[in-house]
């Protein structure tokens, strides 16, 4: 699962196996170690929620969790739907934009980047890949 954060927006991109794992297990997670201490680890997860009606994101103790309603996840995982979009009110800072996407093969992949788990590109005639 790839994570991109820019300003008040977060974007998660999942490969085929991660979409299947989310549908089967209800959770996909990753972490990045900035040092040897557990306190220097940043974790992020995408979770299916039976209780929530809207996509939401939270951050606490070095962990970001994005929750998606079960029916929304099922529709996205089992069809050719590419993405899930949501906007979450974030108080005085305005809005947090949330985007969850299927990760597609790049037409011109960056060197060293594996595309083994990517979805087939829906528009193979496009010249460039927007990998970020």
Q: Which structure tokens are listed for 32? A: 């990045």
Q: How much of the chain, in percent, has pLDDT values that exceed 70? A: 78
Residues 26-55: tens digit of each pLDDT: 999 999 999 999 899 999 999 999 999 999
Q: CATH number of the domain at 2-102, please?
A: 3.30.1360
What's the confidence (pLDDT) of residue 91?
A: 80
State the SS3 of 27-96.
Answer: EEEEEEECCCCHHHEEEEEEEEECCCCCCEEEEECCEEEEEEEHHHHHHHHCCCCCEEEEEEECHHHCEE
18 vs 91, more confident: 18
CB 67 within 8 Å of CB 87: no
Residues 47-74: tens digit of each pLDDT: 999 999 999 999 999 999 999 999 999 9
What's the confidence (pLDDT) of residue 30?
A: 96
The whole-number average pLDDT for the span 64-92 is: 94
């Amino acid at each position: 699962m790839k994570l991109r954060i820019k300003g008040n927006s977060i974007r998660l991109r999942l490969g085929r196996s991660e979409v299947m794992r989310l549908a089967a297990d209800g959770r996909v997670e990753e972490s990045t170690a900035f040092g040897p201490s557990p306190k220097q680890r940043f974790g992020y997860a995408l979770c299916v929620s039976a209780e929530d009606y809207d996509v939401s994101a939270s951050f606490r103790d070095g962990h970001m969790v994005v929750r998606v309603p079960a029916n929304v996840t099922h529709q996205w995982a089992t069809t050719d739907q590419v993405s899930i979009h949501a906007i979450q009110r974030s108080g005085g800072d305005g809005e947090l934009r949330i985007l969850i996407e299927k990760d597609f093969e790049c037409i011109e992949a960056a060197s060293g980047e594996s595309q083994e788990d990517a979805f087939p590109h829906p528009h193979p005639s496009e010249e460039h890949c927007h990998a970020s």
